[in-house]
């Protein structure tokens, strides 16, 4: 999501004093150095704390959900700071305006923005610490700071061969005022940035000691599950809970806005209690709702004129004149995020305040929602960000659904409580990637060049009704619905892109790569259709329409070369190509597939080329590309949430299937060297996979895939 909200670029807090309590201290129990050391730290800004033990703690304001921010962001700080990488520790940031997203103005992680929106901020933070430590050492030695240098956690005065470790400068440095302007390193002097530095969170994740929300336990804590309406928009009509109340371990049964909470000594008792509830539901307006019906409604809507997202030239006239015309309808279903760790939150409510532990991408929204529900001031609520067992957008919920619900449960029972979602709760509980229906047509001239392109998109807005509406919906167009379709890169003179945003009470949300997750499939598949209709090679066809976009052309050439696009394929194999730009990065992929009766569709290899501008950690980029390919492949091959009688038909991994080891293609990742501005890396690997695979299926079988998941 390209969010531009409340642009109030906040500079990090400039305090040069020893910190005692307040902003940084005492808010994250259980993390080293977070308490009881108020006179032992040098904290030049909100992101860095140096201890007398030489440990440099980097406070990270982005949530670690696998994308590597607990490593890549500290790398930026440490490099500018000339810190010793082996002495770096990380700590999740508490909720404070100092940690707000530099563009969004709220604290959160998403939209593949973490690197480029913190790059300047964190480099300055690191450089400020370095300059102050050098000045402190120079002061002690009585020499000019210019005669000193910082390296690997020490300040040196070479002339007299003297040195101080950073830790030994803490007290002196803490007395200095932070400078306004600090010199930043030249890229040639980077020691960490650009290198495949190992992740700081790997050891704890390998040991099994990394703490996720589900692992948090506080004294006296109870565990709750919630019986939610089986049909969105439904309400409890009546409930009989005598059986559940009598069950061992069940402590409370409470009605909360989202349903009936069963609160027990432990998870098993809570689930058993919930199973014993007899609830009659008023199923509301979606009773009887089905995906079949919805498809028909969308198809009908796609025949009507929608809100105009882009209009160039006169596509109607150009189509009328076209020598060859193509028309198609494309469809993709609702999708669940299916994070491996289902939603959960721990709320410890006391008279004077509250602590919340959860894996969230939206700290300030969640904290504020909980405070409102609990009748507390926001600053009375300490929200602690744990590791996230996957996020993919699900844990960035404008409604703070899983945190708000846990706050309601805590308010009802006035005891520390962990609210857990079962896998079925998680799969059926919504905030899905919307279902989309696209009607698209194009015309080619006598030379096979496209002269007209008309694309109409039908699907729910994920933004309408959220606080982001003002920033992201303009003239009835939700930017996230049309991103990747509105801005097709190809040189086509007449273009019309329209949008219908029908309203259904089915909760929808961004899902890794947001709008691009459907627009790339439609645009890149239809481009393939046009190439074949023009009798041209799909790669060459694209290249010729990208004369004004050398960056994209170069990436296409790279992926083609690495994939051996022009080389013959083994018998029974097909190859498909797709390229898509999202979140500031370009990704091109070539998929190689086979289709046969025994194995169905198999994806053997995906060659992926990425141009994300300047890079911080190539190993993490490689991992995120692999991750994006697998995520996109799960959607292309299996992903589908459908409704029948108002109910979600899927519930667990047996019917909401994901790619497994035995489906896994070989993935090759090639990073285009670049000095351009940083792009995002968490999401851009996802969009090209589905069209690359679908185009490969066509190349092999002649069957055009226009609906996901792919059925062969």
* Beta carbons within 10 angstroms of residue 218's beta carbon: 14
Two tokens, residue 530: 């046009």
Residue 644's φ and ψ, nearest 5 degrees, are -145, 135
Going across the sheet that includes 149-151, the strands are 149-151, 154-157, 162-165
Residues near another protein (CB under 8 A): 64-68, 198-199, 201-212, 214-215, 217, 223, 266-268, 338-342, 387-392, 422-423, 619, 623, 626-631, 652-654, 658-662, 664, 666-667
The nearer residue to another protein, 424 or 544, going by C-beta atoms, is: 424
Which residue is it, tokens 């009908």? Answer: 300
Nearer to another protein, 283 or 348 (CB): 348
- Minimum gap (Å) between residue 198 Cβ and another protein: 5
In this structure, are residues 580 and 488 in contact, taking their beta carbons and an 8 Å threshold?
no
* Number of residues written out for the chain: 712
Q: Are 615 and 677 in contact (CB under 8 A)?
A: no
Please, what sign has the CA dihedral across residues 350, 355, 358, 362?
Answer: positive
| Shortest Cβ 223–another protein spacing (Å) | 8
| Nearer CB in complex with another protein: 5/211 | 211
Cβ-based nearer residue to another protein, 211 or 239:
211
Nearest one of 112, 173, 175, 114 to 145, comparing CA atoms: 173
Q: Which is nearer to another protein, 37 or 619 (CB)?
A: 619
| Residue 207 C-beta: closest distance to another protein, Å | 7
Residue 267 burial by Cβ neighbours in a 10 Å radius (0-12, 13-18, 19+): middle
What distance in Å separates the CA atoms of residue 167 and residue 150, rounded to the nearest whole number? 13
Identity of the residue, 171 or 201, whose beta carbon is nearer to another protein in the bound complex: 201
Helix/strand/coil for 165: strand
Question: Taking the complex as a whole, how short is the minimal distance between the CB of residue 631 and another protein, in angstroms?
Answer: 6
Q: How far apart are CA 232 and CA 217, in angstroms?
A: 31
Our CB check for another protein shows the closer of 308 and 658 to be: 658
Q: How far is the CB of 268 from another protein (least distance, A)?
A: 5
DSSP strand E in 401-513: where? 417-420, 436-444, 450-458, 473-474, 477-478, 494-500
User: Least Å distance between CB 195 and another protein?
Assistant: 13
104 or 638: CB nearest another protein: 638
Q: Which of 211, 712 has the CB closer to another protein?
A: 211
In the complex, minimum distance from the CB of residue 230 to another protein, in angstroms, rounded to a whole number: 18
Q: Of 200 and 463, which CB lies nearer to another protein in the complex structure? A: 200
Q: How far apart are CA 604 and CA 576, in angstroms?
A: 12
* Of residues 390 and 688, the one with the C-beta less far from another protein: 390
Closest approach, Cβ 105 to another protein, in A, equals: 27
* Contact yes or no for 113/125 (Cβ under 8 A): no
Dist CA 672 CA 615 (whole Å): 10
Q: Token digits for 429?
A: 């509980």
d(CA 641, CA 657): 10
Q: How far is the CB of 283 from another protein (least distance, A)?
A: 26
Query: Smallest gap, in angstroms, from Cβ of residue 517 to another protein?
Result: 15
Distances (CA, A) of 648 to 6, 276, 428, 651: 36, 21, 6, 8
Q: What's the closest the beta carbon of residue 392 comes to another protein, in angstroms?
A: 8
In whole angstroms, the minimum distance from the beta carbon of 627 to another protein comes to 4
CA nearest to 487, candidates 580, 610, 577, 587:
580
Closest CB 701 distance from another protein, rounded Å: 25
Beta strand extents in 377-515 (DSSP E only): 381-385, 417-420, 436-444, 450-458, 473-474, 477-478, 494-500
Which residue, 146 or 661, has its beta carbon nearer to another protein? Answer: 661
* β-pair partners for 239: 279
- The nearer residue to another protein, 209 or 238, going by C-beta atoms, is 209
Contact between residue 454 and residue 319 where contact means Cβ atoms under 8 Å apart: yes
């Amino acid at each position: 999501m390209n969010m531009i909200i409340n642009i109030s670029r906040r500079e990090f807090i400039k305090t040069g004093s020893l910190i005692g309590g307040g902003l940084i201290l005492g808010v994250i129990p259980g993390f080293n150095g977070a308490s009881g050391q108020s006179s032992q730290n040098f904290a030049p800004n909100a992101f860095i704390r140096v201890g007398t033990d030489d440990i440099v703690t980097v406070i990270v304001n982005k949530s670690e959900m696998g994308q590597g921010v607990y490593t890549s962001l500290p790398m930026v700080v440490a490099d500018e700071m000339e810190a010793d990488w082996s002495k770096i520790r990380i700590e999740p940031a508490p909720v404070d305006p100092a940690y707000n997203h530099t563009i969004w103005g709220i604290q959160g992680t998403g939209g593949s923005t973490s690197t480029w929106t913190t790059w300047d901020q964190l480099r300055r933070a690191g450089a400020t610490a370095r300059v102050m430590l050098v000045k402190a050492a120079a002061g002690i030695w009585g020499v000019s700071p210019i005669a000193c240098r910082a390296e690997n956690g020490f300040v040196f005065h070479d002339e007299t061969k003297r040195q101080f470790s950073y830790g030994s400068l803490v007290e002196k440095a803490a007395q200095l005022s932070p400078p306004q302007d600090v010199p930043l390193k030249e890229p040639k002097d980077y020691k960490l940035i650009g290198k495949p530095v190992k992740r700081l969170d790997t050891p704890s994740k390998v040991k099994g000691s990394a703490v996720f929300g589900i692992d948090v336990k506080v004294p006296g804590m109870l565990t709750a599950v919630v019986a939610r309406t089986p049909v969105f928009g439904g309400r409890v009509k009546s409930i009989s809970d005598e059986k559940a109340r009598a069950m061992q371990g069940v402590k409370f049964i409470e009605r909360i806005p989202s349903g009936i909470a069963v609160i027990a000594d432990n998870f098993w008792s809570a689930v058993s209690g919930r199973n014993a509830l007899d609830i009659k539901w008023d199923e509301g307006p979606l009773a009887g709702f089905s995906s079949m019906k919805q498809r028909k409604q969308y198809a009908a809507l796609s025949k009507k004129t929608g809100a105009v997202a882009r209009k160039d030239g006169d596509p109607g006239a150009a189509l009328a004149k076209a020598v060859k015309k193509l028309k198609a309808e494309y469809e993709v279903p609702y999708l669940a995020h299916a994070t491996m760790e289902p939603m959960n939150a721990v709320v410890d409510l006391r008279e004077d305040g509250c602590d919340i532990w959860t894996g969230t991408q939206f700290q300030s929204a969640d904290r504020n929602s909980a405070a409102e529900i609990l009748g507390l001031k926001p600053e009375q609520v300490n929200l602690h960000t744990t590791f996230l067992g996957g996020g993919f957008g699900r844990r960035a919920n404008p409604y703070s659904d899983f945190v708000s619900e846990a706050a309601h449960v805590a308010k009802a029972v006035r005891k520390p409580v962990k609210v857990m979602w079962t896998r079925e709760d998680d799969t059926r509980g919504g905030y899905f990637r919307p279902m989309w229906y696209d009607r698209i047509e194009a015309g080619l001239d006598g030379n096979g060049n496209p002269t007209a392109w008309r694309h109409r998109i039908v699907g729910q807005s994920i933004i309408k009704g959220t606080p982001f509406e003002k920033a992201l919906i303009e003239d009835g167009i939700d930017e996230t619905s049309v991103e990747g379709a509105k801005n097709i890169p190809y040189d086509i003179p007449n273009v019309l892109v329209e949008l219908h945003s029908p309203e259904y009470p089915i909760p929808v949300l961004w899902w890794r790569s947001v709008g691009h997750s459907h627009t790339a499939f439609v645009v890149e598949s239809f481009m393939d259709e046009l190439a074949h209709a023009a009798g041209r090679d799909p790669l060459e066809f694209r290249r010729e329409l990208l004369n004004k976009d050398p960056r994209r052309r170069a990436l296409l050439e790279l992926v083609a070369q690495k994939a051996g696009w022009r080389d013959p394929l083994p018998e029974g194999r097909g190859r498909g190509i797709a390229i898509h730009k999202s979140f500031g990065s370009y990704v091109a992929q070539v998929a190689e597939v086979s289709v046969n009766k025994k194995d169905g569709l198999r994806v053997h290899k995906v060659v992926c080329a990425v141009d994300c501008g300047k890079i911080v950690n190539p190993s993490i980029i490689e991992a995120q590309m692999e991750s994006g390919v697998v995520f996109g492949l799960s959607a292309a091959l299996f992903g589908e949430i459908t409704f029948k009688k108002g109910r979600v038909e899927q519930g667990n991994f047996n019917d909401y299937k994901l790619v497994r080891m035995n489906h896994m293609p070989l993935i090759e990742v090639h990073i285009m060297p670049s000095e351009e501005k940083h792009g995002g890396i968490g999401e851009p690997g996802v969009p090209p996979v589905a069209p690359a695979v679908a185009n490969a299926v066509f190349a092999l079988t002649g069957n055009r895939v226009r609906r996901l998941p792919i059925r062969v």
